[in-house]
Amino acid sequence: MSLPPKLWFQWQRLKKAVTSSFETPGSPGGGAVRMCPHCRALINRDAKTCPLCGESIGPVRARGGSSTPGRIMGVIPIPTTASSVMVVANLALYAISWYMTQNSAAAQLYGAPSMGGIGTQVLMRLGAKAPYILPPYNQWWRLVTAMYLHAGLLHIGMNMWCLVDLGPEVESLFSTAKFTVFYLVTGVAGFIVSLGWAPYGLSVGASGAVLGLIGVLIGASFHHGHLGREYRSQLWKWVIYIAVLGIFFSADNAAHFGGLGVGLALGYLVPEGEPATRPSENLWNALSLLSVLVIAGSFVMMAMQLSP
């Protein structure tokens, strides 16, 4: 199974929306490569036969106007199964935290933060990464719950935009079970690095897991020759761009690069595609179920410590 080429074009669209300096002119067909519908290898866009599997390839479908397959109105990406669940969970936690912030502000007769900002105390109560992870409190579940909390509208907006772009790519390239494991492991790894870098700081957000997904794609690209190199160079530019933004906006770059590093290792070492054997399938299904139980259990433990 090969890397899907459409992420390249999605990143270009996102970067164009944020800054024109990253624009890359594209051809009307959308680029130089496409995916073989039979073996999913990256091949030249004009190829009539896949050089890897030998199957005949149909002509490139013309794109009318600005519409793009897999997007609502040609703009909003449609997330796949597991990524949809992650997006909904993040949005639900943001709605709860915003409601709690408004109630707290009304009760104490002060204004709530602007731009959909969430109160620090609310984030702390709902499970932000904080010193309480360390002994004697040992609230390890904060490494998980912090992934689903965000500090404001811009924060969650950017993270969810990246997630709905990246999630389907990783999920289709590896599998839903592997995506679920990758998302949890890279997000937690990011906050572990953040805890080591700034043990007494407060941090929230899905960006460690998002950078982890970028790392997975970069790691996988090493197995795809010159097309992988081109793909990888664009993803590295995006990593640098995020790092620069993180410096200016005081983001948790330790969490970002912790997630990125673990994602790189996973993308390089874990075989692409659905598990090839029944034992492998059972293993990944078990790891995926364990990941879901860890996430659910973390939120149960968070709810148990909420004061009335």
Domain positions in the chain:
1-78, 80-304
Residue 134 confidence (pLDDT): 92
Q: Mean pLDDT in each 10-residue stretch from start to end of the chain (308 residues)?
A: 44 44 36 60 72 69 41 52 92 95 76 78 95 93 97 92 89 93 98 95 94 95 85 87 82 94 97 91 96 97 82
Angle at 235 between CA 233 and CA 190, to 5 degrees: 130
CA distance 84 to 303: 23
CA distance 141 to 42: 40
What is the per-residue burial (b if ≥16 Cβ within 10 Å, else e) of 5-16?
bbbbebbbbbbe
Residue 184 confidence (pLDDT): 98
CA distance 229 to 238: 14
pTM (predicted TM-score)? 0.75
CA distance 180 to 290: 10
Hey, what CATH topology would domain 80-304 get?
Rhomboid-like fold (1.20.1540)
Provide the angle, in degrees to the nearest 10, between the axes of the packed helices 225-248 and 253-269: 170
- 8 Å CB contact between 194 and 256: no
CA distance 263 to 252: 17
Residue 238 confidence (pLDDT): 81
